[in-house]
């Protein structure tokens, strides 16, 4: 069993914002795997399917970013999932737009969604796939992450989503080491 969580905020207002990159990746991956995350479970939009003999759960917590840990903990507990079989996708202010990076574990880097998950799980020993959004030259980062991508950033965003989906497929079927070697 592999649980793949995309972080974001629920609702039309946040749909196309930088902070919802995790949701965007889950939506694209679900499409590629012929899944649809429309069922409600674990305070999330959720879907589950066996792919190449591996049970895959895709999760989009609907608790808002800062409370994502509530939904993730429910799913991990329900499926008795090892933390090594959990990956969380989130945006990253400190990476250039369009870049991705996967890590086996590590700190939260000030990302409140990751902090919520680490707090609820009592551990940071879960994989995370970060998708770069860059940091604003000026202004409040909180406003920036809740704003939409510019026209100039759209191509980078689309490429990053595609790269993230390829990385997640590698993580699912070949493991985190192969994924890090291929995509970092």
| pTM for this predicted structure | 0.96
Ordered by start, the domain boundaries in the chain are: 2-183
What are the pLDDT digits (tens) for 14-32?
999 999 999 999 999 999 9
> Counting beta carbons within 10 angstroms of the beta carbon of residue 68, is it exposed (0 to 12), middle (13 to 18) or buried (19 or more)?
buried
Q: Which alpha helices (H) appear in the chain, and where do they start and end? A: 21-32, 68-79, 112-121, 141-145, 151-174, 176-183
The superfamily (CATH) of domain 2-183 is: Peptidyl-tRNA hydrolase (3.40.50.1470)
Query: Looking at the predicted structure, is the pLDDT value of residue 152 above 90?
Result: no
What are the pLDDT digits (tens) for 70-90?
999 999 999 999 999 999 999
Count CB-CB contacts under 10 A for residue 150. 10
Query: Looking at the predicted structure, is the pLDDT value of residue 139 above 80?
Result: no
Active site residue 19: yes
| Residue tagged active-site, from 19, 128, 130, 157 | 19
Beta bridge partners of 131: 91, 100
Q: What is the CA radius of gyration of the chain?
A: 15
pLDDT at 99: 96
The DSSP element (H or E) to which 149 belongs, if any, is none
pLDDT-based confidence at residue 9 (cuts at 50, 70, 90): very high
């Amino acid at each position: 069993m592999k649980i793949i969580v995309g972080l974001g905020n629920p609702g039309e207002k946040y749909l196309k914002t930088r902070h919802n990159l995790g949701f965007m990746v889950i939506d694209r991956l679900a499409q590629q795997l012929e899944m649809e995350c429309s069922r409600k479970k674990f305070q999330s939009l959720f879907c589950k399917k066996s792919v190449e003999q591996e049970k895959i759960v895709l999760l989009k917590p609907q608790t808002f970013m800062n409370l994502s840990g509530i939904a993730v903990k429910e799913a991990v507990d329900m499926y008795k999932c090892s933390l090594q079989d959990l990956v969380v996708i989130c945006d990253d202010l400190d990476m250039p737009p369009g870049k991705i990076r996967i890590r086996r574990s590590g700190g939260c880097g000030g990302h409140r969604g990751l902090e919520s998950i680490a707090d609820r799980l009592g551990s940071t020993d879960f994989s995370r796939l970060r998708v770069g959004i860059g940091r604003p030259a000026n202004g409040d980062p909180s406003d920036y992450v809740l704003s939409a991508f510019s026209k100039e950033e759209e191509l980078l965003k689309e490429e990053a989503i595609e790269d993230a989906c390829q990385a997640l497929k590698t993580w699912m079927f070949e493991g985190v080491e192969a994924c890090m070697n291929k995509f970092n």
